Structure formats: C-alpha cells, structure tokens
C-alpha cells in the first residue's frame, strides 16, 4: 500500500509540470484568485520557484523544468551585478537557484554565481556586533544595525562557500552571526524575536522590534520556523552541539503551541481578535527543519520529532492541499504579513517549496540544496 507522501508526491509532480507551462521562468510569490503572480527578479522570494523546479527535476529529469530553472537563474544576474540593491536574502535567492543547479549538474557558472552571492552576504557582516545586517536604507531608514531571524536561512550560503573555496572566513561569519542569534534572539522558552537592533558602531544591543510579529515580545510563527531550520542546517555544517540544542528548544516551543490541525496562527502570542490568520508556510518550513534535525538524532528523540514533522505535513496535505485545477499553488492558507494585512490566508511560493522539500525527505531524499 502506497504511503500518503508517495501519493502526494505524484500529485505534486503532475501539478508542477502542468503549471510550469504558464509560469515558465517568472518569479511567483503569492497566488491570487488561483493564479500565481509574478514579482520582479530582485524580490527576496525569487529563488523559490527555480528551487521547486529543481526539486522535481531531481526526481523526474524533465528537461523543461531544468530549462525554466536555468532561465530564472540567468535573469537573476541583473540583481547579482547591481550591488546597491543586494540585500540579506541572497541566500534564499541563490541557494535555491545557482547552488541547487551546481549541486545537481556541477555547472561551473552556477557555482561562480553562488560564490559571488556569498561574498555579497559576507560583506554585510558587522564586526562590532557580530551580525549580518538586514535590508538597506531604501527599505528602512537607519537600519544599519538591524538583524533578523530570517537570516538563519541565508547563512547556509556562507557554509557552502567555505566548503567550496576551502576558505574558513565565510564559515566564521556564519557562526558568529548564529552565536549572536542564540544570545540575543532566542528566549528562554524557545520563542524568538523577529528583529533585534544594535548600535552599528559599537555593536551594543539596543532593543527588539516586533517586525512581522504582533509585538516585540510576541512569537512570530515563521520566525520560529526560520530558527528551527537554520540552526539544524548550521549543526550539520559545524557539529556545534549548542546549535542542535537551540534547534530543539525552538522546536519544542513551536510544537507546544500548534493547534490540532498543525497549522499555526501567524503569531503564537497574537491576541484573540487577531488569531484569524493561519500560516501554513511556517508549518511546512518547521517540518522540513525538524526532519533535517532528525538526521543528527537517534532513538526515541529522533522518533518523536520525526513523528511530529510527518503529522504536520500530512495535515497540510489533507487539510490545506490544493490539488484541483482551479488553484496553481500547492498549499493554501499562508500569511505573508498579518500586521500590514498583506496576503493573509493566501497560498505562498515558499510554503509550496518547503512542503515539497519535506515530502522528499519523507521519501528518503537526504541531500538538500541548503
């Protein structure tokens, strides 16, 4: 009897093959009225569609998926060479496009793009505060001292670059940033801040900001997912036990606050009147992160986290999956930014990506692009 995730994988493959004929080499972000939109190439989510195509190509070897993914990557060259607009999310953009391409097909041009992106990211490191700066002044004024939890999913680009170049400087920066996250972002109960602000000249911590969470002391669900997955990847590269311990702590908080259907509220501490926004993308990312964490565990502990990750993914499949032809996305009910009422309870491309990536892990795929 086929496992549910094998059946789901077949549905994913069929659907991605079908929708790729319309989306082609554009950059979807959210699905509106059943159709994915198209963002500019410099938008932070630009890597998720080519990343999704590479996930399916790895299994099917369907040439058109490769061609669309490579074309997306080539379009990103404009942004890679436009230094003033480069931001902290180069990991999301080039890990899932260029690094994925290189890991699958050993393409040297893709490798070079990934290393250029890693150099850009390393250049954002603040040596006084030991953090990678988030955003630029054209997004938020006076943000020179801002760091965000999202960057935990960008710094795997630095670990990869260290391995490829045999140069430890990239890894040193990634670890320094991670240690700052452990010290300044993760609370004793395992919840996390979205934004922490430092004095960019002295490195002194100034305050925390709510960002996409409800308040500075709340618990933005996707922020927890970024922490779970990013710390698990960091442990894989470094084998630093403190990273795995903090990943487990963040996971325990996440699991303890999930509702019965395993799809979290956008912020675990949102007031009752603002708990109408779900974020399935946080669930998918956290589940993939848990499965990554399980690679480094044994016995009952591994069984516990693996079981919870699979339960999350099965619930997303059964309760939030979109398998009809009226909706291009795979998973419904993600939330981009509830505080700004921006795409609430909407399918999101990164929710789709992490769901498919996690399905692959359930099916035995252990190599990741990160």
Give the DSSP letter of residue 56: H
**Full DSSP string of 302-362:** HHHHHHHHHHHHHHIIIIIB--STT---SB--B-SBTTTTBSTTB-BHHHHHHHHHHHHHH
Catalytic positions: 89, 150
Half-sphere exposure of residue 20: CA atoms within 13 angstroms, side-chain side: 24
In the annotated binding site for substrate, the residues are 89, 150, 222, 226
Q: At CB < 8 A and 24+ separation, what contacts does 253-256 make? A: 253/189, 253/190, 253/191, 253/219, 253/224, 254/190, 254/221, 254/224, 254/225, 254/228, 254/286, 255/308
Burial of 216 by CB count in 10 Å (0-12 exposed, 13-18 middle, 19+ buried)? middle
Exposure string of 179-199, with b = 16+ CB inside 10 Å and e = fewer, is bbbbebbbeeebbbbbbbbbe
Query: How many of the other CB atoms lie within 10 Å of CB of 52?
Result: 28
In the annotated binding site, the residues are 89, 150, 222, 226
Asked if 370 and 295 count as a contact pair (C-beta separation under 8 A), the reply is no
Query: How many of the other CB atoms lie within 10 Å of CB of 261?
Result: 16
The SS3 of residue 9 is: helix
What is the token pair recorded at 228? Answer: 């779970």
Query: How many of the other CB atoms lie within 10 Å of CB of 143?
Result: 18
């Amino acid at each position: 009897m086929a496992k549910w995730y094998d059946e789901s994988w077949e549905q994913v493959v069929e659907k991605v093959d079908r929708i790729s004929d319309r989306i082609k080499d554009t950059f979807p972000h959210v699905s509106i009225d059943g159709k994915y939109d198209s963002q500019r190439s410099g938008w932070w989510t630009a890597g998720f569609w080519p990343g999704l195509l590479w996930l399916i190509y790895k299994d099917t070897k369907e040439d058109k998926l490769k061609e669309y993914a490579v074309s997306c990557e080539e379009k990103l060259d404009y942004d890679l060479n436009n230094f003033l607009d480069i931001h902290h999310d180069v990991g999301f953009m080039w890990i899932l496009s260029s690094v994925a391409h290189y890991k699958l097909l050993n393409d040297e041009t893709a490798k070079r793009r990934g290393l250029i992106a890693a150099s850009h990211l390393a250049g954002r490191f603040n040596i006084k505060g030991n953090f990678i700066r988030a955003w630029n002044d054209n997004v938020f004024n006076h943000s020179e001292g801002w760091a965000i939890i999202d960057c935990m999913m960008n710094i795997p680009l630095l670990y990869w670059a260290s391995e490829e170049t045999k140069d430890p400087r990239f890894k040193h920066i990634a670890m320094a940033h991670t240690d700052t996250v452990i010290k300044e972002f993760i609370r004793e109960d395992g919840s996390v801040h979205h934004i922490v602000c430092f004095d960019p000249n002295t490195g002194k911590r100034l305050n925390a900001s709510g960002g996409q969470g409800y308040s500075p002391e709340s618990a933005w669900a996707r922020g927890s997912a970024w922490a779970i997955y990013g710390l698990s990847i960091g442990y894989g590269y470094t084998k630093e036990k403190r990273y795995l311990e903090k990943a487990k702590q963040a996971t325990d908080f996440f699991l303890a606050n999930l509702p019965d259907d395993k799809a979290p509220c956008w912020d675990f501490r949102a007031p009752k009147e603002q708990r109408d926004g779900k974020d399935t993308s946080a669930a998918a990312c956290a589940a993939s992160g848990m499965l990554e964490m399980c690679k480094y565990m044994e016995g009952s502990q591994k069984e516990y986290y693996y079981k919870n990750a699979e339960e999350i993914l099965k619930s997303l499949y059964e309760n939030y999956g979109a398998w009809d032809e009226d909706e291009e996305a795979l998973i419904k009910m993600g939330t981009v930014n509830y505080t700004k009422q921006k795409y609430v309870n909407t399918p999101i491309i990164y929710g789709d990506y992490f769901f498919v990536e996690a399905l692959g892990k359930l099916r035995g795929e252990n190599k990741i692009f990160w």
